[in-house]
Amino acid sequence: MTAPVAEVTGPANHKRALRTATIVSTFGGLLFGYDTGVINGALPYMQVDLGLTPLTEGLVTSSLLFGAAFGALFGGRLADRHGRRKMIMVLAVVFLAGTLACTFAPNTEVMILARLILGLAVGGASVTVPVYLAEVSPSARRGRIVTQNELMIVTGQLLAFMFNAYLGNSFGEAGGIWRWMLVIATLPAIALWVGMNFMPESPRWLASMGSFGETLSVLRRIRSQSEARAEFEEVKAMAVEDYKAKMGSWKDLSVPWLRHIFAVGIGLAVIQQITGVNSIMYYGTQILAESGFGREAALTANIANGVISVLATFVGIWLLGKVGRRRMLITGQLGTTTALFLIGVFSLILPEGPSRGFVILALTVTFLAFQQGAISPVTWLMLSEIFPLKIRGLGMGASAFVLWIVNFLVGFGFPQLLAAIGLSSTFFVFAVLGVGAIAFAAKYIPETKDKSLEDLEHFFKQAAAREPVTV
């Protein structure tokens, strides 16, 4: 059952309604960011209290990522079946339950299981929130609205780094301080559940279910009257064209143009993660400590990574209105790969100490400027917009599943790779992978700027008709 919607709104009310829906739903992104970023500062204290080894350290960190892969895979399908709004509300409950389980975990085994549960919510939010935003947004503003979720993700990570630094520096000697770092995430989880009770359902999902009356009502709530009527006709026409008694399935990938889009989505997911961004977001404190900072100093210095991520995302949102998605993605890949190579070089040639620490910090900040200012916002935006309505949940879910599996492998393997081959060689590995990502993006990623979701579907169909592509 969807939230009540008004049939008519005033000139400013529809803008306020759209803005409110954007802010409330992106609390899912804030939770995504906080729950993935908080481990960065909590881990050094967990190592002492829970007796973590490099293996169990990797498991505690990556169990959330493994859960997120399955949350993404099934979250998209469940959102197709039950609606985007209702799915986000369910995810808020899982966020709350998973956070409390992590906070009160008595040992490593329970912590791994609790992080796995929390990961289901993170993964589900990673696919459902961008799709909800894409489907409630007017095409002219879709880029900026969808990427506000990315802004909330990095804001959540920054908040995690700041709370970690404050609690670690002020109460680091107190036992179990990491539990206080974790429990803070219960607050946005409650806010998300309460807020989504009052938000409208996605008009495009309603149309896909044949609920055209509700579709028009929602559009009248979040658009001007002329825009609502024009967009309703477009959405209805596409829904009638695509509407089936059942949801899209794997059998639909026998169609060449759908299979091509699906492969592009999977590739986008992989190249976003093999930059190694989350080795910095999850282990930044350890990287800086190994580079020459002390534990508490590394906690404080790591805030710079969070600050630059937020600032870069603001720049990225602005650039999306000016620059093509494809150009931004490739530029970001060039910048991150260069920064990774330089981290490897300077960690090899500079002696351990504060000087090396500040050089590595400057390079991680540079890396994140390109990653969060270009690669991440473009990736999540393109994944939310390239798939046609019929397989949008399936395609987004499968792509995010692959993204989180690669993320899991990075999160699990990084501490062991660091112990086995050292800091410099580890970042050289990521730099080589970055070269491969640049090559893939240059060859396969299409441009999607300034096209409505319906335009994109027609575009890919026509392109496949002119020149069928086998992948």
pLDDT at 183: 95
Q: Would you give the end-to-end CA distance of the chain in angstroms?
A: 40
The residue whose two tokens read 């999902």 is 205
Q: Which helix (H) or strand (E) holds 385?
A: helix 376-385
pLDDT at 241: 61
The answer regarding whether domain 13-199+244-466 maps to CATH 2.40.40.20 reads no
Residue 458 one-letter amino acid: H
- 8 A C-beta contact, residue 32 and residue 153: yes
Collapsing DSSP states into helix, strand and coil, what is residue 375?
Answer: helix
Q: Check residue 98 and report its DSSP letter.
A: H
Residue 178 Cα to chain centre, angstroms = 24
Longest CA span, the chain = 68
Residue 392 Cα to chain centre, angstroms = 16
DSSP letters spanning 166-222: HHHHHHTTSTTHHHHHHHTTHHHHHHHHHHHTTSPPPHHHHHHTT-HHHHHHHHHHH
State the pTM of this model.
0.76
pLDDT at 9: 45
pLDDT at 346: 92
- Mean pLDDT by runs of 10 across the 471 residues of the chain is 44 81 94 90 87 88 91 84 93 97 94 96 90 85 81 92 91 85 96 95 86 87 83 77 57 78 89 85 81 81 88 86 86 94 91 84 92 87 78 78 88 85 89 93 81 68 57 35
Write the CA distances from 111 to 50, 185, 197, integer angstroms: 9, 16, 31
pLDDT at 246: 45
**Alpha-helical segments (H) within 51-107:** 54-82, 84-103
